Structure 1
Amino acid sequence: MTRLSVNINKIATLRNARGGDNPNLVQVAKDCERFGAQGITIHPRPDERHIRYQDVFDLKKIVTTEFNIEGNCQEQKFIDLVLANKPEQVTLVPDILGQITSNHGWDTIANQDYLKYIIATFKSAGIRVSIFVDPVPEMVAAAATTGTDRIELYTEAYATNYSKGKEQAIAPYVEAAKVARQYGLGINAGHDLDLHNLKYFVENIPGLQEVSIGHALISDALYYGLENTIQMYLRACATAK
């Protein structure tokens, strides 16, 4: 079964809109786990517009499933934050300052030396490392020589093109996953996966270990309720491959 990690950034955004502590991020994380989520993902950014740095320390104390911190490892504050909390997994994303959301994967060829250094830094602390990559075979192959444990396939292009032709939309991801398996890399995926396109993705990417989903899942929860929504996503992830 592909594991579901719930990204709770949007809960933090809602809380921050009014200040205070409603909704309570820690309680939501606990509830997500109680409802079946197999991981909690957060993506702290320097402006703390959703996840605050203190949230990371608070969540580390209570998350009992997999704690996944993703973000821009070219920021020293992010590096220090991850090393101070030692999550089960860190996902490295090549964001820039002020970026609204992640929109591309690493150039694992041009950034090979840097990635080797930063991945070794996290792995020496006992943290599993995943790096964000586009579904480009050359980039996946080069990821294998960085020392990373996993890649996370950036799925925005798949989600955008799914309604135009799902076979064509998923083809690059099938090839990228094939290369990843050849090199012994674990495979995660995330970005714009939702109840419409998730099942087909899971069905067609053998060896997919984990999906990280936030925006769509929290949006669906407004209509279906959080517990029911998590169960719906879990059923899509449980599709036999």
Structure 2
Amino acid sequence: MAKLSVNINKIATLRNSRGGNNPDLVKVALDCERFGAEGITVHPRPDERHIRYQDVFDLKTAISTEFNIEGNCKEQKFIDLVLANKPAQVTLVPDTEGQITSNHGWDTIKHQAYLKEMVQLFQKEGIRVSIFTDPVREIIEAAQTTGTDRIELYTEYYAANYAKDPVKAISPYTQAAHTANKLGLGINAGHDLDLQNLKYFADNIPNLLEVSIGHALISDSLYLGLENTIQLYLKQL
């Protein structure tokens, strides 16, 4: 079964809106673990509009499941943050400054040499590396040459088209997964996966190892409660 890593960025956004510590980010992360989540994901950005850099240090000493830090490795502050905390996994995402949310994967062909350097930097410190990619065969093949351990498939296209035609929506992801499997790359996935589309995705992606879900899961929890929502997502997997 693929692991569920809960992205708690939205909890930090809510906390930051009032300037205090309510909700308590660390407590929420510990509760997510207690409710069955098998990992915690954070995606700090330079403006710290949700996850603050200090949050990463606080979480690292508190949580016991897998810690996944996402972000843009072109920011030196991000590199330093990851190396200082040594999470189980770092996910390299090509964000631009001020970007609301991630909206594309790496061009692993164009940035092949750079990504290889970054992968080696983190792996040397015992950190598993995943590269955020679109479901394109050539992109995944180039990702493999960087030495990365895994790729994370950017699933917005799938989520946006699932209701209209699930077979068509899943097709490029299934093909991408077969390519990754053939090359020996682990497969993660994330972006806009939810209770409606997650099961079909997980059922059709061979050897899916992990999904990272934040916005939809936290939104669902407003109606369903956090513990119940995590259990429902686990059930889809």
Q: Could you say which residue in structure 2 is the equivalent of 1:55?
A: 55
Match of 2:83 in 1: 83
Structure 1 moving runs of 4+ over 2 Å: none
Letter of the structure 1 residue corresponding to residue 65 of structure 2: T
Aligned to 1:152: 152
Whole-angstrom distance in 2 between the partners of 1:185 and 1:219: 31
TM-score (norm 2): 1.00
How many angstroms does 1:58 deviate by? 0.1
The offset of 1:63, in angstroms, is: 1.1
Q: What residue number does 2:166 align with?
A: 166
1:137 alignment partner in structure 2: 137
Quick one: percent identity of the two aligned structures?
A: 75
Matched, 1:211 2:211: yes
Secondary structure, counterpart of 2:17 in structure 1:
helix
- Structure 1: which 5+ runs fail to align? none
Distance in 2 (alpha carbons) for counterparts of 1:170 and 1:21: 40
Give the drift of 1:89: 0.1
Q: Using the alignment, how far apart are the partners of 2:145 and 2:182 within structure 1? A: 13
| CA deviation after TM superposition for structure 1 residue 168, in Å | 0.1
**Equivalent AA in structure 1 for residue 126 of structure 2:** G
Distance (whole Å) between structure 1 residues aligned to residue 167 and residue 63 of structure 2: 37
TM-score for both structures, normalised by structure 1: 0.98
Structure 1 residue 206 displacement after superposition: 1.0
Q: Distance in 1 between matches of 2:114 and 2:12?
A: 31
Q: Does 1:106 align with 2:106?
A: yes
**How far is the alpha carbon of 1:213 from its aligned partner?**
0.1
Structure 2: unaligned runs, 5 residues or longer: none
Partner of 1:181: 181
Count of matched residue positions in the alignment of Structure 1 and Structure 2: 237
SS across alignment from 2:145? coil
The AA in structure 2 aligned to 1:91 is T
Matched residue of 2:118: which SS? helix
Alignment correspondent of 2:115: 115
- Offset of 1:101 from its aligned partner? 0.2
